[in-house]
Structure formats: C-alpha cells, structure tokens
C-alpha cells in the first residue's frame, strides 16, 4: 500500500512515473538493458538527456540564452560553486531561512558578502519587503532562496534589483508554478523535491554571466567547463536524468506548470483555509509569504505536537514532523502529492482538534 508521504525531501514521486520506470527497468525501449546500465555516451542515452533538457526548456520556458546544466553534489554544492564562479567584487545575500543562511555562510569563505536582509530576528516568519532590501548596487549578484523548505515561506514577488542579477535556490518550488526565468541570472535546484531522486542538481544560468572562475575552483564546479562539455565532463547522474524526463512528461500531461500550479494552489488552499479557521493550530508564516509547497504549523503545546505526529503515522501519513531545529508540524505537499492526500490530512487534523482542543 502506498502511504501519503509528506516528506520535505526526498519526497513523493508520481505513481505513474514509478510504474513506468518499473516497466522499463530491465529493458529500456527494447534495447535489452536498463537505463542504469547504459553508457552515458551511447546514442540511446543521448536521446534521454537531450530529451530531458528539451522538455525542461519547454515546460519552464527557458530562453535560448540560458544554459541548462545537469550536475551532482546537491543544492548544497552550489552554495560554494556560485561564489567561486561569479563573485568578482562582492555579493548581497538575503537570509530568509535555514538554506539561505547556509549559502550565506559558505559564500563568506570566498569573498565579501553583504546581508541584503536577515529575517532571523523574527524567526523567519516572512519574506523581506522590497523597501527593506539593502542590495549593494555594485554586487555581482543578489542571492535568494525562493522557497524556504524548513520554515514554509516563499518569495511571492520578484524583487527589483537594478542591474544586479538575481540568483535563486528553487530546490523546493521548481516546476510548482510558472516562473519568468528571464528575470533571473541563475536558478538552481536539487532534484529530490519536485524532479527526480536525489543526486541530480539542475542549474539554469544566463550564458553571458559565465566567466573564468576563481583559480582554485575544481573543474567539476566550473559552470563554463560543464556547459562546454554539455554536462558530460564526466559521468552525469544518468538514471536521475531519465526519471526527470519521465516526471516532465507526466507534468506536461497535467497541463505543464500552469496546470500543476492550479492543482498546487488548490491543495495549499485546502490546508491554509482549514488552518485559518482553526482555533487550535497555529501557523506562523505571514499570509503574503506563505509557501504552497511546505505548510508549517503547530499545536498549542509540544506534547500535542508529538501526539499529533504519533497518531498521524498510525493513520498512514509519513514525515509530518517539523524540521529538527524548528519543531511543530510540516506538511510538504510537492507536485506529486495528490489532492486526496491533503484532504485526508485535513480530515485527520479536524478529528485531532476535536479530540484534543
């Protein structure tokens, strides 16, 4: 039996995709081998990686003047790769949560980094407003984490930055809603939230921004070298890229990111409407900063949080426990979580409120 898995990542993949991968597991399209066993330089694999890139470009509307890179090392590797490749004088970072803070700390190892905003003082309960941002006009880039996976907040606007290109970590919101890629210098995402199994990182970068990285930069972290080699400088994460292609085909069948966004807004709406009507649960993120992928809330006491999590597991829900340093409850409702999963969660929440409120 499949459970409703509310994990923040790795997270649910569409059942259709898993079934298709299972059917093709030992013999991909009659070639007599698994995708896992293929040479990454074979004709047949070429059709998979090129197909994945073409579909991603189509679904996200990625303009021609952007590179699409399929890399490894997770999103966390990019925290270092970004300054190594783009930090010439200085950069400005907005610290809006756990992963933005990690990126900010890592970047400081490589040069001068200024804080454009730090929302830690108010426990990351909202995204900074435009007028609060202090972006150095000479910055090489302005760094944001678009969806804050741990806290459940999201940039619901694209900031004005003058001539400073915006770089954004979109690990936990890629493909969830339409996004105007042309407004960004660089976007990147680890695969394990909305794209594929862990092990693949997608980087989308404006070609004219790519230049010679810092001299000590490993070749594997040199975006120019990876672009020149078409993500095949060494063996790419071949199976993950294949699953990404299947996920993109599934997404297209739902009407692309527009169709996906309708479903995602419906799911988040069901949960937030219930939270807003409840006198029991407390949702801390301010309304205009809410994420539609990670919904965070808590019960009146820590004991009730623990009871909620324990009973939710009995009910067949997995991974509702909040991030270890934050506590409370976090329901991650990525693309592959069906509407029925959210409805079932709200039913359970209402029952728990009646019994414990």
Contacts of 310 (CB under 8 A, 6+ apart): none
Q: What angle, rounded to 10 degrees, do the helices at 256-277 and 43-60 form?
A: 60
According to CB under 6 A, which one of 21, 68, 71, 75 is a site residue for ligand PLP?
75
Shortest reach from residue 345's CB to ligand PLP, in Å: 20
The angle at the Cα of 155, spanning 153 to 158, to the nearest 5 degrees, equals 180
DSSP state of 37: G
Please state the φ and ψ torsions of residue 147, each to the nearest 5 degrees: -120, 120
Asked if 7 is part of the footprint of ligand PLP (rule: CB under 6 A), the reply reads no
Residue closest to ligand PLP (Cβ): 74
- Of 91 and 349, the one with the shorter C-beta distance to ligand PLP is 91
DSSP state of 225: H
Among 152, 165, 190, 236, binds ligand PLP (CB under 6 A): 190
Residue 137 C-beta-side C-alpha neighbours within 13 Å: 1
Q: Locate tokens 């230049």: which residue?
A: 211
341 backbone φψ class: left, alpha, beta (φ>0; ψ -120 to 50): alpha
**289 near ligand PLP (CB under 6 A):** no
Task: Select 299 or 333, whichever has its Cβ closest to ligand PLP.
Answer: 333
Residue 74 near ligand PLP by CB under 6 A:
yes
Closest CB to ligand PLP among 168 and 308? 168
Decide if residue 169 touches ligand PLP (CB under 6 A): yes
Q: Name which position in 161, 171, 217, 335 contacts ligand PLP (CB under 6 A).
A: 171
The single residue among 145, 202, 210, 248 that binds ligand PLP, judged by CB under 6 A, is: 145
Tell me if 9 contacts ligand PLP by CB under 6 A: yes
Query: Least distance (Å) from ligand PLP to the CB of residue 81?
Result: 12
Closest approach of ligand PLP to the CB of residue 245, in Å = 19
Q: Is 155 or 348 the residue whose CB approaches ligand PLP more closely?
A: 155
- DSSP E strand boundaries for the chain: 4-5, 66-71, 90-95, 112-118, 142-145, 147-148, 153-154, 166-169, 186-190, 201-206, 294-297, 317-318, 329-332
51 interacts with ligand PLP by CB under 6 A: no
Task: Determine how β-strand 201-206 pairs with β-strand 66-71.
Answer: antiparallel
Shortest CB 147 distance to ligand PLP, Å: 6
| Angle, helix 98-107 to helix 74-86, in steps of 10 degrees | 40
Q: Is 172 in the site for ligand PLP (CB under 6 A)?
A: yes
Which residue number, 193 or 267, has a Cβ lying nearer to ligand PLP?
A: 193
Min dist. Cβ of residue 171 to ligand PLP (A): 4
* In the complex, least distance from residue 155 CB atom to ligand PLP, rounded to whole angstroms: 11
C-alpha to C-alpha distance for 205 and 189, rounded to whole angstroms: 12
**CA atoms within 13 A of residue 217's CA, in its CB half-sphere:** 24
Q: Binders of ligand PLP among 191-210, rule CB under 6 A?
A: 193
Tell the smallest beta-carbon distance from residue 303 to ligand PLP (Å): 29
CB of 323 to ligand PLP, least distance (A): 11
* Sheet containing strand 66-71, strands side by side: 66-71, 201-206, 186-190, 166-169, 142-145, 90-95, 112-118
Applying CB under 6 A, does 76 fall inside the site for ligand PLP? yes
- Residue 251 tokens, joined: 């997404």
Number of residues that bind ligand PLP (CB under 6 A): 12
319 makes contact with ligand PLP (CB under 6 A): no
Site residues for ligand PLP, 84-103, by CB under 6 A, read 99
The piece of 166-174, 231-239, 244-252, 253-261 that touches ligand PLP (CB under 6 A) is: 166-174
CB atoms closer than 10 angstroms to residue 211: 10
Question: How far is the C-alpha of 80 from the C-alpha of 95, rounded, in Å?
Answer: 16
Write out the residues near ligand PLP by the rule CB under 6 A.
Answer: 9, 74-76, 99, 145, 149, 169, 171-172, 190, 193
């Amino acid at each position: 039996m499949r459970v409703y898995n509310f994990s923040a990542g790795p997270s649910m993949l569409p059942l259709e995709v898993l079934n298709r991968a299972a059917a093709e597991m030992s013999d991909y399209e009659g070639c007599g081998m698994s995708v896992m066993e293929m040479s990454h330089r074979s004709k047949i694999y070429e059709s998979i990686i090129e197909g994945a890139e073409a579909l991603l470009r189509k679904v996200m509307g990625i303009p021609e003047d952007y590179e699409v890179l399929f890399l490894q090392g997770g999103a966390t590797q990019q925290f270092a790769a970004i300054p190594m490749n783009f930090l010439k004088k200085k950069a400005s970072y907005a610290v809006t949560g756990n992963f933005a803070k990690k990126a900010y700390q890592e970047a400081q190892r490589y040069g001068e980094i200024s804080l454009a905003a730090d929302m830690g003082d108010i426990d990351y309960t909202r995204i900074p407003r435009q007028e609060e941002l202090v972006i150095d006009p000479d910055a090489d880039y302005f760094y944001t984490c678009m969806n804050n996976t741990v806290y459940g907040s999201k940039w619901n606007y694209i900031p004005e930055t003058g001539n400073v290109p915006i770089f954004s970590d979109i690990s936990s919101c890629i493909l969830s809603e339409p996004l105007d890629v042309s407004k960004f210098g660089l976007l990147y995402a680890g695969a394990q939230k909305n794209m594929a199994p862990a092990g693949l990182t997608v980087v989308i970068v404006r070609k004219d921004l790519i230049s010679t990285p810092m001299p000590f930069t490993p070749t594997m972290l040199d975006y120019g070298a990876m672009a020149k080699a078409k993500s095949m400088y060494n063996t790419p994460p071949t199976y993950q890229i294949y699953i990404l292609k299947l996920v993109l085909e599934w997404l297209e069948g739902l009407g692309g990111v527009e169709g996906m966004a309708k479903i995602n807004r419906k799911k988040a709406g069901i949960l937030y409407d219930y939270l807003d009507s409840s006198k029991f649960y407390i949702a801390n993120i301010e309304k205009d900063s809410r994420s539609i992928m990670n919904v965070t809330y808590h019960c009146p006491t820590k004991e009730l949080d623990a009871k909620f999590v324990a009973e939710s597991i009995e009910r067949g829900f997995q991974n509702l426990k909040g991030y270890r340093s934050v506590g409370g409850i976090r329901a991650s409702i990525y693309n592959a979580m069906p509407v029925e999963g959210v409805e079932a969660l709200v039913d359970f929440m209402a029952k728990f409120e009646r019994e414990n409120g």
